[in-house]
Amino acid sequence: MIIRVLGVGQFEVPDDSMEELNALDDALTGPVEQHDEAALHAGLVKVLEAVQRLGKPMPDDYLGPSDLLLPGPDSTLEDIRELLTEEGLIPD
């Protein structure tokens, strides 16, 4: 799966890593519902660090599509809400 992190780049993440990413994504639900921007940012950083740790950076000149778009590390609560679906940032 190709995951684009806004402002960071694209990463090819193996399908068998998605369970770990989904668990981290699920932890964002509470902070979003509680409008807790500090906790949401901390959780988002964990998701983004995992994407970078588990994935392989795509070349800067890669022009193919991304399977998933994630907000960047400096995103606000409103930025994150725009990308959220019923399944969170990362679909199950």
**39/28 Cα distance (integer angstroms):** 8
Spatial CA neighbour of 17 closest among 28, 39, 2, 32: 2
Residue 29 confidence (pLDDT): 82
6 phi/psi in degrees, rounded to 5: -55, 130
pLDDT tens-place values along the chain, 92 residues long: 999 999 999 999 999 999 999 999 988 888 888 988 899 999 999 999 999 999 999 998 888 899 999 999 988 888 888 888 877 888 87
**64/48 Cα distance (integer angstroms):** 20
Spatial CA neighbour of 8 closest among 64, 46, 58: 58
